[in-house]
């Protein structure tokens, strides 16, 4: 994946619909607010498919697909989750932005979160799951399980609202 053609084939994809209306088939929406932007952007611009393709290329160049069975990749991801948890294990509660951590520790957090993300997209690829489409369906389902009027300000499980 070259940085120079990252708007190439990817633009041909069908668009996902984060409102979830079509997927749910019942008008359920993830968000109905006219003011769609909660806060300023935090993430640099990258699509899920861009990262997926870059990682597939990385694996292919090393002839590693032979090792990437679904369960092998899942175990790899579980291992990375453990490495992330390890950073936080003796910290007590930490604040937004992790001011209690050193710059090196914060960089380490970013590395472990990256490893989890890479393996998660790898796993979806091995399972042949269109992850953005699955996320749209799941968010529409979550919106139905947690209606704003019932769930506002409460941390209950959805079964309490049924």
Q: How far is the CB of 7 from its own copies (least distance, A)?
A: 10
Cβ(121)–Cβ(52) under 8 Å? yes
Q: How far is the CB of 147 from its own copies (least distance, A)?
A: 9
Show the tokens assigned to 48. Answer: 């899920």
Shortest Å distance, C-beta 47 to its own copies = 5
User: Is 156 within 8 Å of 36 (Cβ atoms)?
Assistant: no
Question: Which is nearer to its own copies, 62 or 160 (by Cβ)?
Answer: 62
Which of residues 27 and 91 has its CB atom nearest to its own copies in the complex? 91
Rounded least distance, CB 138 to its own copies, Å: 4
- Of 24, 39, 1, nearest to 121 by C-alpha is 1
**Residues near 126 by beta carbon (within 8 Å), at least 6 away in sequence:** 68, 69, 70, 73
């Amino acid at each position: 994946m070259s940085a120079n053609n990252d708007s190439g084939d990817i633009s041909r994809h069908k668009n996902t619909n984060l409102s979830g209306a079509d997927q749910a088939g019942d008008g359920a929406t993830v968000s109905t607010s006219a003011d769609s932007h909660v806060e300023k952007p935090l993430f640099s611009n990258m699509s899920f498919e861009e990262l997926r393709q870059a990682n597939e290329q990385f694996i292919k160049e090393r002839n590693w697909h032979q090792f990437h069975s679904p369960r092998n990749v899942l175990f790899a991801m579980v291992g990375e989750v453990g490495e992330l948890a390890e950073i936080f294990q003796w910290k007590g509660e930490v604040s937004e932005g992790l001011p209690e951590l050193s710059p090196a520790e914060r960089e380490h957090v970013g590395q472990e979160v990256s490893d989890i993300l890479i393996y998660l997209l790898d796993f979806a690829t091995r399972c042949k799951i269109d992850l953005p489409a699955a996320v749209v369906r799941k968010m529409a389902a979550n919106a139905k399980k947690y209606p704003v009027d019932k769930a506002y300000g409460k941390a209950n499980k959805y079964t309490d609202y049924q």
